[in-house]
Amino acid sequence: MPSAFSANHGSPRILVTRRDNIGDLVCTTPLLAALRRRWPQAFLAVLASSYNQDVLLGNRDVDRVYVFPKRQQARGKLALLWSRWQLVREIRRQRFDVIVLANGGWRYARQLGARQLLGFRERDNPPDRQPDVVVPLAAGAALHEVEKMAALGHALGVTDALGPLCVYPRAEEVARRREELRRSGFDPQRPAVAIHISSRRPQQRWPEQHFIEFIRHLAQERPALQFLLFWSPGAENDPLHPGDDARAARILAATRGLAVHPCPTTRVAELIAALSLAERVICADGGALHVAAGLGKPILCFFGDSIVAEWRPWGAPYVLLQAASRKVADLSVAEVLAGFRRLEGQSGTADKSRET
């Protein structure tokens, strides 16, 4: 396989592009760590998005994070086009040896001036619009996203990219969130269970009445527990950023008198910091799941129609529940309570607690 630089190149300039979702970027962190181990003197950069960039806060494997502005977060079309053009010019000036296309994007990446593009075959592109180095994936194999990223690393001579996910809570964010929660009665000395109720996809949503019944049952069984209720803020009918304010308000009202503390998070940095305060995490497949795995938290996770082999928690203790219908709503409260008890029975938390 051709290479943009020899295996003996001591300081290559590498750009990894990952402009999609939070969990996808979290699942790329083992590759970034392996690239840094292989080339300690490399200039290693990531092209993230304005949505997922906080995943890399405090990550010392990365020298520079370039931020691709999302359309939803831009202030007008002209401003968006101008900022994207400025970004292209800035990256071109870096003269990267290789751009690793973690989630495709040949059409955009070819503008960035690297000596070579490396990535998977892009299904909708003809043969002349493919990366310079096309990394094969075994036909029919359901690889985890971490394993797919490791295949990209292997094409560069990196053979140890299957390590743990890595996210780093910022100390100031953790302190701020802890103080906010204390004002609602949160006790840092009591074990806390994080429950994230939000999911963008209908197949991944558990009914709010189920959450209410689950919290009531578990609070009765485990009176020492307290609960952190996570959700994405906003109105459910917001066309750009739908949220779960109304659902969360109803759950909080129905569990009044129990140790349930509101924990809405707008930014990824807030999510990372607040999840670090929990002992265990309950959530559907999505960004919060992979952040929790990056923190080493034991996870009880709900899967709808997602492919388990590709998106299960990586490197953290977990119990995974998936209904035969592939709809999270069809999981019963009894099944989730049983899943939580199994999670408690597993070995203790692998919490890394790495504040920066």
Q: Nearest to residue 230, comparing CAs of 155, 177, 167, 309? A: 177
Per cent of the chain over pLDDT 70 is 93
How far is residue 330's CA from residue 332's CA, in Å, rounded to a whole number? 6
Confidence of residue 353 (pLDDT cuts 50, 70, 90): very low
pLDDT at 23: 97
Confidence of residue 1 (pLDDT cuts 50, 70, 90): very low
Q: Which residue type does 62 have?
A: V
User: What are 254-311's pLDDT values in tens digits?
Assistant: 999 999 999 999 999 999 999 999 999 999 999 999 999 999 999 999 999 999 999 9
Q: Where are the domains of the chain?
A: 13-154, 171-345
pLDDT at 9: 67
Mean pLDDT of 120-130: 93
pTM: 0.93
Q: Name the CATH topology of 171-345.
A: Rossmann fold (3.40.50)
Evaluate whether 13-154 and 171-345 have a shared fold: yes
How far is residue 150's CA from residue 144's CA, in Å, rounded to a whole number? 10
pLDDT: which is higher, 350 or 22: 22
- For the 13-154 domain, the top CATH level (class) is alpha beta
Assess whether pLDDT exceeds 70 at residue 63. yes
Mean pLDDT of 2-29: 83
pLDDT at 351: 47
For the range 311-314, what are the long-range contacts, defined as Cβ-Cβ under 8 Å and sequence gap of 24 or more?
311/23, 311/144, 311/145, 311/285, 312/144, 313/289, 314/27, 314/30, 314/144, 314/145, 314/146, 314/164, 314/165, 314/290
Confidence of residue 2 (pLDDT cuts 50, 70, 90): very low
CB atoms within 10 A of CB 175: 12
Q: Which residues contact 28 (CB under 8 A, 6 or more apart)?
A: 16, 18, 46, 102, 145, 149
Confidence of residue 10 (pLDDT cuts 50, 70, 90): confident
User: What are 157-208's pLDDT values in tens digits?
Assistant: 999 999 999 999 999 999 999 999 999 999 999 999 999 999 988 889 999 9
Assess whether pLDDT exceeds 60 at residue 35. yes
The CA angle 349-22-321, to the nearest 5 degrees, is: 50
